Amino acid sequence: MFLIKHLKRGYNDVLNILYPRLCLSCSNVLYDTETEICHRCLSQLHLTGFDIKQNNPVYERLSAIVNIEKATALFVFDKSGIVQELIHQLKYNNHQEIGVFFAKTAFDYLTENNFFDDIDYIVPVPLHPKKQRQRGYNQMTEFGRNLGNFFSIPYTEKILLRKIYTESQTKKNALQRRENVSKAFKIAEPEKYTGKHFVIIDDVITTGATIEACAETILNTIPDAKVSILALTMVL
């Protein structure tokens, strides 16, 4: 047994030299005690610490445009910061393990304030099927799936769907963005979900137009539905 343990340790050391594990944010080699993200980067990743409703600017901003129950963001937005870099890696370089890391963080943080206590389904902002095919995945999938496992709530990409291809939002003003996305979503079999409470998950909320359109689609299509919102970060 002692020998096996030793061999295994040696094997891991060799693996580490051949294929060093790298920090998902800064790409420095990780120490044994570090997982996914180095201590230095972690120290620069700040949780918002927002309550669900009191003194919560995410809730205040979003509840002013759509009738939601709860809303929060996990991390403080920082334009040149670690959270942006991690979301970029998750979105464009298919580092799905970052989604798992975010889910673990969310679990620790949101258990305390009972955010998920009355939630029935976790749904992501859907990508258009064409975009999802190009990218090969929805960047929120692993985050949502792991979050669902931790809280024992179903995560599904089959209820809230995107129907119209919306052009790139970047060159549009706020009003044009809203018009562009307001008819972009639909619900599969709305009658099956009467009275259910959905949490919509998203990576970065900027104007809130997309999340508003998703929330309105659920509220207008599913009888007696409720909506809450959880973002990784929000530009405030």
**Residue ranges in contact with Zn ion by CB under 5 A:** 23, 25-26, 38, 41
Q: How far is the CB of 83 from Zn ion (least distance, A)?
A: 13
Other CB atoms within 10 Å distance of the CB of residue 105: 17
Closest separation in Å from C-beta 65 to Zn ion: 36
- For residues 26 and 47, which CB has a smaller minimum distance to Zn ion in the complex? 26
Q: Hey, what are 159's tokens?
A: 């209820």
* Shortest CB 42 distance to Zn ion, Å: 8
Which amino acid, residue 166? Answer: T
Q: Residue 169 contacts by C-beta under 8 Å, 6 or more apart in sequence?
A: 177, 180, 181, 209, 210
Tokens of 45: 């990743």
Minimal CA–CA distance to 231: which of 106, 128, 119?
106
Q: Which is nearer to Zn ion, 41 or 58 (CB)?
A: 41
Q: Distance between CA 11 and CA 5 in Å, rounded?
A: 10
Looking at the Cβ atoms of 39 and 133, the one nearer to Zn ion is 39
Question: Could you tell me which of 86, 70, 87, 81 has the C-alpha nearest to residue 37?
Answer: 86
Q: How far is the CB of 188 from Zn ion (least distance, A)?
A: 40
185-187/160-162 β-pairing: antiparallel
Q: Which backbone phi and psi does 122 adopt, to 5 degrees?
A: -105, 125
CB of 13 to Zn ion, least distance (A): 21
| Residue 36 beta carbon to Zn ion: minimum distance, rounded to whole angstroms | 9
Q: Which is nearer to Zn ion, 45 or 209 (CB)?
A: 45
**C-beta of 9 vs 39, nearer to Zn ion:** 39
* Token pair 């002013």: residue: 64
Q: How far is the CB of 34 from Zn ion (least distance, A)?
A: 8
Q: Which of residues 95 and 177 has its CB atom nearest to Zn ion in the complex? A: 95
What distance lies between CA 235 and its chain's CA centroid? 15
Shorter beta-carbon distance to Zn ion: residue 7 or 26 = 26
Q: Contact, 234 vs 204, CB < 8 A?
A: yes
